[in-house]
Amino acid sequence: MGRRISDESYAKLPPVNGEVKPYGEAPLDDYTSYTNCRDNSYFKAGDIVWVEQFVRWDDDGKPVHKPQKAAIIRVSAEMGNDGFYRQRFVISLMTDKGKWSRMWKNTWPGYIQRGYELVEERTW
């Protein structure tokens, strides 16, 4: 799932009541190098975003998801099987008590995109 955030990194997280950054996508650029992929990310460290989170299985055996606020700690990249890099975000989720979690986890642009879509649909 993730590991514990250091006290130093936890202090750098944005305020919990901060504004959520509107959704946008980075321009499709040359993602053949690690630095191009990382530096051309639309979301940067310190941004607050919506992320799709699994909640439970419904009676039909389908997954139920809800949007959850998350703070981006670090933007990274990883190489896919096709030789191109993909963005990876290290995030801290907001807890039910309205604080940032002390645990971090990895997420990818698709989960962020679907988180914003769930907020727009209000189906949760």
Residue 1 lies in a domain: no
83 lies in which domain range? 7-121
Number of domains composing the chain: 1
Residue 76 lies in a domain: yes
Residue 2 lies in a domain: no
What lies within 8 Å, CB to CB, of 42 at 6+ separation is 24, 25, 26
Among 118, 105, 86, which residue's Cα sits nearest to residue 20?
118
Q: What is the pTM assigned to this prediction?
A: 0.85
Question: 6-58: per-residue pLDDT in tens?
Answer: 888 888 888 888 899 988 877 766 678 888 888 888 999 999 999 999 999 99
Residue 98 lies in a domain: yes
Where helices occur in 1-124 by DSSP H, the ranges are 7-11, 34-39, 109-121
pLDDT at 29 (0 to 100): 65
pLDDT at 104 (0 to 100): 92
Residue 17 lies in a domain: yes
More reliable by pLDDT, 124 or 72:
72
